[in-house]
Structure 1
Amino acid sequence: MNTVKHGLSIGIERIDNHFFLNLKAVGKLTHADYEIITPMIDSALASVKDPKVDALIDATELECWEVRAAWDDFKLGLKHNNEFGKIAIFGNKNWQEIAAKVGSWFISGDIKYFDNLGDATAWLIQ
């Protein structure tokens, strides 16, 4: 039997007064993945009064989204639009850099693509 790994993992860290949302996307994301992760993100952000959250998205193992999952991602971004300060996307594929640029049209925070994790982290904490 061949097992296909996919999904999102989430973590929230606090450094001084900064809240950091860490997401790792793996494989082909599905609507079912978002049915699990969306309530977790909603709950985590609801626990922060007037949240201004910086996010690091590790997309190095992300292959693609199902169409419905891409829509779920778009809706999640719109729902929490004003809560994000900076979003760093760490990836290794050209289409991820393009996706970061498109995402910046819909999120009020700054979105930037990086192909180096250290650079992404440094930008977030400046």
Structure 2
Amino acid sequence: MIDILDANKENLIAIKLTGKATQADMERIHELIHGIVDKGQQVDFYMEFENFHGYDMKGLWEDLKIDTAHFSDYGRMAFVGDKKWLESAAKATDFFTASDVRYFDRDDKQSAKEWLEAE
């Protein structure tokens, strides 16, 4: 499931991911992406992971389609959580995209938010 969190920046999508992400979750995010891109802005992400177990198949497929369509529309991304795999995922995302992606430990949420707002 994906919950939308309050964001302090017009081009920031802040979400909390728990359980499994579904196609409906990804479609909600896609609408938010379009709302930002249609204003000529890059999309920044704050993604907080808590007991996240990945995607169901339709959710994964939808996420892949969205990322392919908006590859060049993404700016900064903060991955926040307490799992070692998140740090590796952030490094891989940073390497394979033009985005600036960083991992922050759950205890460092505020630093992640400050980094995203510092542009």
TM-score under structure 2 normalisation? 0.76
- Whichever residue aligns with residue 92 of structure 2, its letter is V
Which 5+ residue runs of structure 2 have no aligned equivalent? none
2:99 aligned residue (84, 99, 109):
109
Instruction: Give the RMSD, CA atoms, in angstroms.
Output: 2.4
Q: Secondary structure at the match of 2:11?
A: strand
What SS is found at the alignment partner of 2:95?
coil
Matched AA of 2:41: P
The percent identity for this pair of structures is 26
Query: 1:103: Cα distance to partner?
Result: 1.9
Q: Does 1:41 align with 2:32?
A: yes
Shift of 1:71: 3.7
Where do 1:12-91 residues align within 5 Å? 13-15=7-9, 19-34=11-26, 36-48=27-39, 50-91=40-81
The answer as to whether partners of 1:12 and 1:19 remain within 8 angstroms in 2 is: no
- Once residues 61 and 88 of structure 2 are traced to their aligned partners in structure 1, the CA distance between those partners, rounded to angstroms, is 17
Instruction: Tell me the equivalent position of 2:3.
Output: 9
Runs of at least 4 residues of structure 1 off by over 3 A? Answer: 11-15
TM-score of the two chains, using structure 1 as the length reference: 0.73
Larger radius of gyration: 1
**Count, aligned residues:** 116
Residue 54 (structure 1) shift: 1.9
Bigger proportion of residues as helix: 2
